A and B are shown apart, each in its own frame.
Chain A
């Protein structure tokens, strides 16, 4: 700790911000910070604006492995985090821009890492061919590992293939990204289900095993009539899998979907395409706490599917041994529980929805019947394997977990993040290095000044509204399961949307010794985030700013003491990164510097485009 920091703490004041830690400026890049794989979002958005789609794609591929897939179906933790959403209504359409990079990337094979012909002699088993295992394979293959992939289904992709319908993720897009990794020389054994981990460990002599089998068991509902009507009641994810592998081609005319998550949205929209005429979604809880992403609910409603909330299923009605309908108890809200979720009570009113088929999408869970409980791999009280949160290793050395298999259902992008960490651990494990010694991220800051008031990024704020996504003709889309609904941005729409990015990675960097306290930056700042005042303890300091800083998730950038004894305090919350503070500064105390942050991975060969920024 610097002397000035120690002094500030001892007087109950706010310590000067330590900008030498890469995590300070990393956090300012809200999208990158929120992304589990820390994809450098503003940088690739600028590349898209410049039409450099291949470079934008590669920055994505290096971070998140599946840009074309994620550009369509990512859970998008970056978008609610986007600063633009705090400045005006809607965040930048980051996910859709990612898709643009994938759609227009052109030829990229030359950028792929070289896979050594000579292997390092280490053999890794990957169980389950979903995003987590594929990420591990991608990270380890360039290091010379031999990876063997076991998958019970006939094709790779895991839930990305079985649970996401092709009108959201075309099979061709999925195949391309999966094949790219398998093409590195992964030994894929499709249709090979591992029935015993113990046998696998004993017979094949793998140096490490990675388990990425997801959360494959859909939850069931044990209410009257379930058994009698079994022929027409389906578990959502199993049914979607059957549709994906073309075992199921039709569904009844009237379909009731039970559940309010993304699987429910996929089930109802798939039903419409398989002949459902009257498809209804029912949710037990109130609409506002539905688990599905807002855009997926929007898409389902756009296709004319009603969503009935506060409907708790009570009984499957059976007539002559056949499903006739579902009886629901309507619920009403009576305040909130301790966790802030609505507390529900039966309202007394009952509703019957007649139907031919029921799809149940009420959640999914892990299932490890194939892992013996006596092989030194411990399970916790919820029958989940004990997995280290940093190293991804179970209590049995050499056995790693990732994706939904590790801690229950999450999403694709988290599975990728787990895969990267597991690959680092596996590499350390195979070479006798300590797993807890994690490689550090790379970071640097480079001034963007090109001349007087000229910057190497476009600092002119564009007051544009979010660009709407063009959709396929509805009548046509509903007739064919394989017609992709979202058409993607073309280059012009992409450019317009890219202009909305605030370039949050171009940081406002302040140098206290140069400041003459002329107030020019404070006066010009369009969002009143810069302040010159006496130092105080942080809660008081936050209140005393020109606009009090009530968003505590955002940091206050505090300078060293200035000549008058005051400090500069900048609320990072809604900074537009317009650079006017630096333009109006007579002494260069403010500078706009691009921050590049590179999360460490097992293989440097997978970070070529990232590392180019660190040189």
Chain B
């Protein structure tokens, strides 16, 4: 880690968004992760995405568990709400927060340990509940904070830095999310911001559970030549199934695109996704086809990336539970706590 803070000076010609802010205004404190950590790149992509979407930082809540990944929220959006919670329990905390205040944008940051091991059950239920959040897994295939032991997402073919073989198959979080009914599932790579930033923007704009599995090399423990989660390996085996243009509501679609190979998807908030299919077989609206794309690529040793699956009509938790349209802090006290007489009426009904 660096001993000096990032200088406050910024480029005098740095662009400003409609809020009059620069991307520097969306930063957090200096990262204490290892130099070259993929997580820092994802952090930078999150900063850029929130800046470009003109989201005021105080309308965002960032929630995380435990691990290198879960330290990352400190390094972006230092004017947002945040909760660095218990190991694997980020989904529960986010659920509670989302119930209380449905108006905030929820960014859950987790890692492969936090999600695929200790928090696997929590993860499954967050998907099942259709929590309206962006769930980002910074996936490096190892436990970086405890000297790089294999995590549950490390490929079987990928030995450790010291050469020990990995005896178990990997959990593919994207497949799991699709099977559990997640409405937005994407995979990307920390070293490819051109792909990652539109995906994050789309995920943040998606109303429902948006899952992003971002392969993020651990430079210290899992970036050796035999690792399948190294910069070099992922670059060589990255098979993008589509490329995505995220178009904000206010923007015109200027790019022309050929019918059949491209697809426009309208989001709840009026923004649109313009998908350019790189794999003709792939249709992200079809969950089975998405699973197929992941599996056939994996069988060839390739990593399918891009927007793998989208269900633009999915209902989120609030829709399903028909909750009040207002966040709890906007509900008058008389309604929130109707008093003992109301309680007695409820109790009487249950007798």
Binding site for B on A (CB under 8 A): 86-88, 453-454, 459-461, 463, 516-520, 522-524, 526-529, 547-548, 550, 563-564, 574, 576, 578, 580, 583-587
Contacts and interface: CB of A to CB of B under 8 A. Distances in A.
Given A523-B44, A524-B31, A576-B7, 6 more contacts: A463-B9, A516-B223, A519-B190, A520-B35, A523-B41, A580-B7
Contact of B12 (A523, A574, A586): A574
B36 A584 contact: yes
Interface in B26-43: 31, 34-38, 40-41, 43
A518 B36 contact: yes
B191 A519 contact: yes
B12 A86 contact: yes
A219 B166 CA distance: 89
A548 B191 CA distance: 22
B34 A526 contact: no
B6 interface: yes
B2 interface: yes
14 contacts: A87-B12, A453-B1, A516-B232, A520-B37, A522-B44, A524-B40, A527-B9, A527-B11, A529-B11, A547-B11, A547-B14, A550-B13, A576-B9, A584-B31
A526 B9 contact: yes
A460 B36 contact: no
Contact of A584 (B10, B40, B190, B235): B40
A189 to B, nearest CB: 55
Nearest to A578: B7
A586 B9 contact: no
A529 B38 CA distance: 20
A603 to B, nearest CB: 42
Contacts of A580: 2, 4, 6-7
B193 interface: yes
B206 interface: no
Interface residues of B, number: 35
A310 to B, nearest CB: 33
Contacts of A86: 12
A519 B48 CA distance: 14
B217 interface: yes
A528 B51 CA distance: 15
Contacts of B8: 461, 463, 526
B106 interface: no
Nearest to A88: B9
Given A453-B1, A547-B14, A517 B9 contact: no
A585 B9 contact: no
A517 B231 contact: yes
A526 B37 contact: no
A586 B13 contact: no
A562 to B, nearest CB: 11
A139 B272 CA distance: 72
Given A520-B41, A523-B41, A583 B35 contact: yes
B219 interface: yes
Contacts of B2: 453, 580, 583-584
Contacts of B14: 528, 547
Contacts of A547: 11, 13-15
Nearest to A574: B11
B7 to A, nearest CB: 3
Contacts of B4: 459-461, 578, 580
Contacts of A526: 6-10, 24
A516 B11 CA distance: 26
Contacts of B44: 519, 522-523
Most buried by B among A518, A528, A586: A518
A580 B14 CA distance: 19
A453 B34 CA distance: 12
A211 to B, nearest CB: 46
Contacts of B217: 518
Contacts of A587: 36
Nearest to B75: A523
A587 B31 CA distance: 17
A583 B191 CA distance: 19
B219 A586 contact: yes
B69 to A, nearest CB: 16
A159 B259 CA distance: 79
Contacts of A460: 4-5, 7
Contacts of A550: 13
Contacts of A453: 1-3
A584 B35 contact: yes
A518 B13 contact: no
Nearest to A526: B7
A578 B9 CA distance: 11
A529 B7 CA distance: 14
Contacts of B190: 518-519
A454 B4 CA distance: 10
Contact of B34 (A529, A563, A574, A586): A586
A461 B37 contact: no
B28 to A, nearest CB: 12
A516 B40 contact: no
Contact of A527 (B10, B37, B231): B10
Contacts of A578: 4, 7
Contacts of B35: 520, 583-586
A267 B342 CA distance: 91
A516 B37 contact: no
A594 to B, nearest CB: 18
A453 B11 CA distance: 24
Contacts of A529: 11
Contacts of B219: 516, 518, 586
A562 B207 CA distance: 39
A561 to B, nearest CB: 14
A130 to B, nearest CB: 40
A518 B37 CA distance: 8
A68 B44 CA distance: 49
B41 A461 contact: no
A138 B232 CA distance: 60
Nearest to A585: B35
B12 A520 contact: no
B120 to A, nearest CB: 29
